[in-house]
Amino acid sequence: MRTTSPVRVILWIALALTVIWGAQVVVTSPAGAEPAEAVAAPAPDAQAVHDLRVRKCERLVATYYAGSGFLPYCDYLVTTHERLEAEHDAPGFGAAWYYSLVYGAANFGLRVGGVAPGNCSGPMDVKHYPLIRDPERNIDYHCREMLGFYKRGVRGRRLCEYVMLPARPHDWGGGRFRRTDEKFRECIARGYAVGKL
């Protein structure tokens, strides 16, 4: 008797959900929806979903943060979210890569190797002593922190607020997360409109 691995089951579930929700329109999605997963046609497999996520990430970074040094880490960010989804039985966490990107962009401009007061370092604005300046370790730390809130039921843009200010979650700086999310959604919609995604 052949058994199916939990990772394969999760990937099939993610594929099924992508097919079911595949026709949603990014521009009309509510603020808490997952624009990173809105696709014009169903994705044929998990690799295609992964590749689409990476293309979206690369488009957003190239459009708004080309000088940040983050572009080579788009695949790593998406892969980390997908890996943690499989490892920690967190269905849908793979799609939360989008909110990690919103978080890092709104707080730190995705600056690789950047440092700010209070032991914060980029690209994901990780507060840690000692500083985590290696981009991949920085992304890992941030994603694990976000996963903790995700497993408690926090979704959408609220993930950014909880990672930023867990004691009193709210958008800060005049709505930085909201503004970043909105401009990212517009960029993704334009990408579909011109056939780049």
Considering only residues 77 and 34, tell me which one the structure prediction assigns the higher pLDDT.
Answer: 77
Two tokens at 4? 């199916």
pTM above 0.85, yes or no: no
Residue in 69, 94, 67 with CA at minimum distance from that of residue 80: 94
Confidence class for position 173, pLDDT limits 50, 70, 90: confident
What pLDDT does residue 67 have?
96
What pLDDT does residue 40 have?
47
Check the CA dihedral 47-192-140-32 and report its sign: negative
In this prediction, residues 11-22 reach a mean pLDDT of: 47
Residue 115: its H or E element = strand 115-116
In this prediction, residues 138-151 reach a mean pLDDT of: 98
CA of residue 62 relative to chain centroid, distance? 16
Q: What is the pLDDT of residues 81-130, one digit of tens each?
A: 999 999 999 999 999 999 999 999 999 999 999 999 888 999 999 999 89
Look up residue 35 and give its DSSP letter: G
Share the mean pLDDT of the chain. 85
What pLDDT does residue 105 have?
97
How, if at all, do strands 115-116 and 120-121 pair?
Answer: antiparallel
What pLDDT does residue 1 have?
45
Considering only residues 189 and 38, tell me which one the structure prediction assigns the higher pLDDT.
Answer: 189
Rounded to 10°, the helix 74-87/135-151 angle is 40
**3-class secondary structure for 59-111?**
HHHHHHCHHHCCHHHHHHHHHHHHHHHHHCCCCCHHHHHHHHHHHHHHHHCCC
Instruction: For the chain, give the percent of residues with pLDDT over 90.
Output: 70
Residue 121: its H or E element = strand 120-121
What pLDDT does residue 118 have?
86
In this prediction, residues 15-29 reach a mean pLDDT of: 40
